[in-house]
Structures are given as C-alpha cells and as structure tokens.
Amino acid sequence: MNIEDKLTTLYCGFSGSKALRIEKIAGSGSYRQYFRITGPGGSLVAAYNADVRENTAFLEFTKHFKSMDLPVPRILYTGPDNDVYFLEDLGDTTLFSSLMKLRGREKELHPDIVDQYMKVVEFLPQFQVVAGDKIPFEFCYPRPAFDRQSMMWDLNYFKYYFLKLARVSFDEQKLEEDFNDFADFLLEVPGEHFMYRDFQSRNIMILNHSPWFIDYQGGRKGALQYDLASLLYDAKADLPEDFRDQLLNRYIKSAAESASFDEGLFRRYFDGFVLIRILQAMGAYGFRGYYENKPLFLQSIPYAVKNLKTLLERANIPVKLPMLWKSLGDIIGNPAFSSVKPASVELTIKIFSFSYKKGLPADESGNGGGFVFDCRALPNPGRYPEYAGITGRDKAVIDFLKKEPEVDVFLNHVFSLVSQSAGNYIERGFSSLMISFGCTGGQHRSVYCAEELAKYLVEKFNVKVKLYHTNIKEVND
C-alpha cells in the first residue's frame, strides 16, 4: 500500500467519510512527508514519517505545549503504526512567506512583519522556560540535550558537507582542535531549558495575524541563545542588523519576565551560538545542494556568507580558533560564495488538451516524459445536444462536470501526481514539464481538466503555465 492509499484508508476510519482531495504539501529539508486532506468537514494536515521515535517526540511535546495553551496545532489522530498523524490545518502562510510577500524592493520591513516577529520573540521564552521546565525530556530524539556530541555533529556536518564539498582548504587536525575548544566555550553556558532546535521562519505559521509554531520534534535541553540565533540569522530571511538588535532586546525583556535571567551571561555567549547555528545551516545547504544536487539549497549560501561576515566583524567570541577563522575568512573572501545565482531556469509547464482522433501533441522541448491523462472514462457532456457547440471553458459544461464525482476523483489524482513532479523539477532546476489531457473530441472533458490543472498549479507553485487547447484553436500564454 502506498502512502496516499494508506492515508485514504486511515482518513476514512477517522472521519467516517471519504476524502474529497489529498494533495502533497511541498517539503523542505526533512524526509517527513506532509499532505493536505480535504473532506466534507473541512481540511487537515496528515504527516507521514517512518521514524517513529521522532514522531513520538513531536506528539508528546505537542500535548505538553497544548496543555499550557501555547499556539501549536491540535493532534487529531495518530495511526496504529505511529508513522502517521493528523493535525489541525494552519494554512499555508509561514512567517517566511509573509516576509517575502510584504518586503518592499528596498527590503524595508512592512509594519505587519515587524509586529509578527516581535510576537514570535515574545513567545519564544514561553516554550523555552515556562513550558520547558516541565517538558517530558525523556522523549527527546536523537539526543536528550544539545551536548558536546550534538555540537560536534553540527561542526563536522559543516566540515564534511560544506568545506570539503565546496573545496575550501583547511588543516583537519587543527580544525578539529578548534572545534573542541569552541564546544568547550559553548558548554560553559547552562543548558537546562527547552531548545526548539530549528526555530526559523519556515517553522512558524501565521494564522489570523498571529504566530503558530510547528516542527519542534528535534527539541532537547539546551542553552537559551541557540533558538534566538536561529531566528535572527535565518539565511534567506536576511533581516537588517538593526532589526536583529531590536528583536534581541525584545527577547531579553520577555525572557526576564519568565524566569530568573542573566542578561550579561546571555549576551556574552550569544555570538558563539550564532556562529554554530550558521555553520550547521551551511552544512545543511552543502549536503542538500552539493551532495544531493538540489540547486535550491545553494541559493541560501550567499545569505549565510553575508551573516558570517556581519558576525565576524563584530563577534564577541573570546576563544582562539585560528584554523576555523582562516577557513571562514577564505569563504568570505571567495566571490563564488557571495553572489546569488539562480537556482534554475524558471520551470515552464505546458498543458495541452487534445482529441485522440487527431493524435497526441508533439513534445517540442525534446525532453520526453511528462504526463498524458486519458479523460475518456469521465462522463461526457458531448453526448448531449445542448453542449455540442460549447467547450470545457463554458459555464454550462463546467457545471455539468463539477456535479460528477468521478471527475473530482480523477482530478485529485492528477493534482497529486503533477504536484510531486513539479515540486521535484523546481528543486532540481528543470525548465519544462509537459502535461496533456485527451478525450474523444478534444472539446469538453480534456479542456475542462486542462483548465482546472492550470488554475491549481498557478496557485500552488511559482511557475509559468502555458495552456494550449489544440482542438478549439485557442492558445493562452
């Protein structure tokens, strides 16, 4: 049984009704898979993850946060194998997407964005300290704390997946010594609070102008500084330095209200945690970009390098790290790491409707592949005289097909298949995808399906869609 079939079965058992639509939600850097399931009672988000221990951490943390009235999604259902769970649907707007939408050409920050970020940093101590003091740390995975082992994993992630793959030269023994000295320095900070671990703008949803928090399954005991560093130096968010200072001050004020808080201690070690977070992120960009050949992740490197440069110009890290500083200096000084290159040529999706009597549309891209969907099993309005002179773009035909359940089922499968390919093609830098819908006359069913897919893709992805109705002699670019 594939994942979508499993979700369909579980949803039916959970809700007592059949799913009207299942669509895959574009992923990010993890191997978890998310789907939006729409049924008669509304929508929910389904998560599939074969790593049951990671699921358990997320579910137990969620229960705890929810019991303290923190804004996290409600758990609606957990599957019998603990590899699937259903969550309250918080929509598609993340803090990052809101930032990108509202940011002006000169990168000035919209007042709504300023307000959203301020709310987020005020909430952070609630997770770290208020809820963190009683959180069930026994469920932390893969480590119970951000300890020396965790730090060395992150630093070596940077070494092997960024420095080595990007061909930055270094003395491995001396760099290892610096890593150990750096970890010693960071471990001077008390690490008894909840560390969210991946507290960044894509893991914060905006719903009704308020922040909601997700993806804390990697949480563990740790120092307070790390999460704020993750948010303020989130690479592509590219926050202005003066705004970072405002957020730092707002966080300190909020944290001081939540617990006994040593501002001097927090500030003294903050830059060190900024640095290790940047290095961890660069390791991730190298792994996904250089090793897995996903160009989209390489887009973040220039922003991370900019953050490194800003940090090293003012860094207050009172420990000698000569080989690390040399390597970072080589990165900053290399123009290849500092310019933003397009991750790919913009993906263009060509959608055709055609008549099987006249044959399939030609693939002019020369790439082959794509999809051809046969609409001839769908109810056919062409059999009725009143529809003879109109097409699948006309309201009467649209109304006819929308009333037929088979059409919805067919299109849901189409949306799911095409979404998977479109998301993958965007990530891998492909430039074209061709999709064709055929029916007997190329006038009603194929035209309607092509139109529906075009609307769906324009709303879901940042792609160029070209629509061709080969049998009604209309072309829409």
Domain count, the chain: 3
pLDDT for residue 455 = 92
104, HSE (Cβ side, Cα atoms, 13 Å):
6
Burial of 445 (0-12, 13-18, 19+ CB in 10 A): buried
Q: Are residues 294 and 361 in the same domain?
A: no
Q: Are strands 464-469 and 348-355 parallel, antiparallel or unpaired?
A: parallel
Q: Are residues 248 and 194 in the same domain?
A: yes
Q: Are residues 248 and 113 in the same domain?
A: yes
Residue 257 within any structural domain of the chain:
yes
Residue 406 within any structural domain of the chain:
yes
Residue 149 within any structural domain of the chain:
yes
- 155 in the Ramachandran plot: left (φ > 0), alpha (ψ -120 to 50) or beta? alpha
Residue 211 within any structural domain of the chain:
yes
Residue 343 within any structural domain of the chain:
no
Report yes or no: 468 and 351 within 8 Å, Cβ to Cβ.
yes
Could you give the 3-state DSSP secondary structure of residue 463?
Answer: coil
Residue 342 within any structural domain of the chain:
no
Task: Give the Å distances, CA to CA, from 453 to 353, 393, 424.
Answer: 11, 13, 17
| Average pLDDT per consecutive 10 residues, the chain (477 residues; last block may be shorter) | 90 95 75 91 95 97 97 98 97 90 73 96 95 92 95 98 96 98 97 95 95 97 97 95 97 87 95 98 94 84 96 92 97 88 69 93 76 96 93 96 94 92 79 94 96 91 88 58
Q: Are residues 150 and 252 in the same domain?
A: yes
The CA R_g of the chain, rounded to the nearest whole Å, is: 26
Q: Are residues 301 and 366 in the same domain?
A: no
Residue span of the structural domain in which 383 resides:
348-476
Q: Are residues 102 and 63 in the same domain?
A: no
pLDDT for residue 82 = 94
pLDDT for residue 346 = 74
pLDDT for residue 341 = 55
Q: Are residues 319 and 195 in the same domain?
A: yes
pLDDT for residue 344 = 46
What's the CATH number where 229 sits?
3.90.1200.10
Q: Domain boundary at 337, 356, 389, which?
A: 337
pLDDT for residue 299 = 86
Q: Are residues 169 and 264 in the same domain?
A: yes
pLDDT for residue 59 = 98
Report yes or no: 225 and 197 within 8 Å, Cβ to Cβ.
no
Report CA dihedral (142, 143, 144, 149) to the nearest 10 degrees.
180
Q: Are residues 151 and 221 in the same domain?
A: yes
Q: Are residues 170 and 305 in the same domain?
A: yes
Burial of 3 (0-12, 13-18, 19+ CB in 10 A): middle
Q: Domain boundary at 88, 108, 141, which?
A: 88
Largest CA distance in the chain: 84
The pTM score is: 0.76
Q: Are residues 433 and 314 in the same domain?
A: no
Q: Are residues 299 and 433 in the same domain?
A: no
What's the CATH number where 28 sits?
3.30.200.20
Could you give the 3-state DSSP secondary structure of residue 467?
Answer: strand
d(CA 79, CA 85): 6
Q: Domain boundary at 88, 112, 133, which?
A: 88
d(CA 73, CA 71): 7
